């Protein structure tokens, strides 16, 4: 690595729910710097979640994200001319980053509805441990399990 590691920025909590998690999710939904539109999409999604589940939307959101967050992932490691898919544990913020990305990607791939409704449907599916985001998590964990034999390479060649 060259230079210094970039300092971790503090993200201000979102105005409506006063949650940093929701603020980060809004930032992931945002495209082309249109934060107001991203906020509108996420808040409308939360309204739909509250209406359908009769629970607090923040709790539903957090539980859905926890269900999607992976425990292990695979990383390509080149050792002796061969590339191995080495399973490594997912730590800290990366769990949530991957969960957000998979939920948003799964929602964007759904067709025929506004984004807020697609996002709400994907959140409900994730809440019930089904849907494309959960499938993605299971695929990643299955891949890690299949390559468990290469786990001893996880720290190979690291300083």
CATH number of the domain that residue 108 is part of: 1.10.455.10
* Per-block mean pLDDT, blocks of 10 residues, the chain (159 long): 87 92 94 94 95 92 94 87 87 91 94 94 94 94 87 69
Any domain includes 151: no
Q: What is the pLDDT of residue 157?
A: 60
Any domain includes 119: yes
Any domain includes 125: yes
For residue range 3-45, what is the model confidence (pLDDT) as tens digits? 999 998 899 999 999 999 999 999 999 999 999 999 999 999 9
Q: What is the pLDDT of residue 92?
A: 82
- Report the number of distinct structural domains present in the chain: 1
Domain that holds residue 31: 20-70+92-137
Any domain includes 80: no
Q: What is the pLDDT of residue 67?
A: 95
Residue with tokens 């539903």: 60
Residue with tokens 């996420």: 42
C-alpha–C-alpha distance, residues 159 and 145, integer Å: 26
Any domain includes 25: yes
Any domain includes 144: no
List C-alpha distances in Å: 13 to 20, 27, 72, 126, 132. Answer: 4, 11, 28, 23, 28
Any domain includes 114: yes
In 69-92, which ranges are continuous DSSP H helix? none
Nearest by Cα to 134 from 68, 43, 56:
68
C-alpha–C-alpha distance, residues 53 and 146, integer Å: 37
Any domain includes 152: no
pTM: 0.89
């Amino acid at each position: 690595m060259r230079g210094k590691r970039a300092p971790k920025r503090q993200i201000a909590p979102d105005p409506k729910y006063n949650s940093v998690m929701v603020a980060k999710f809004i930032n992931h939904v945002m495209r082309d710097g249109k934060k107001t539109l991203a906020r509108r999409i996420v808040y409308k999604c939360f309204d739909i979640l509250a209406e359908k589940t009769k629970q607090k939307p923040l709790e539903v959101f957090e539980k859905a994200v926890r269900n999607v967050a992976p425990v292990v992932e695979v990383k390509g490691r080149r050792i002796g001319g061969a590339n191995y898919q080495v399973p490594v544990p997912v730590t800290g913020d990366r769990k949530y980053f991957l969960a957000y990305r998979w939920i948003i990607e799964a929602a964007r791939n759904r067709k025929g509805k506004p984004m807020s409704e697609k996002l709400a449907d994907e959140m409900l599916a994730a809440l019930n441990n089904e849907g494309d985001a959960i499938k993605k998590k299971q695929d990643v964990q299955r891949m890690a399990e299949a390559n468990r034999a290469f786990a001893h390479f996880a720290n190979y060649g690291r300083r």
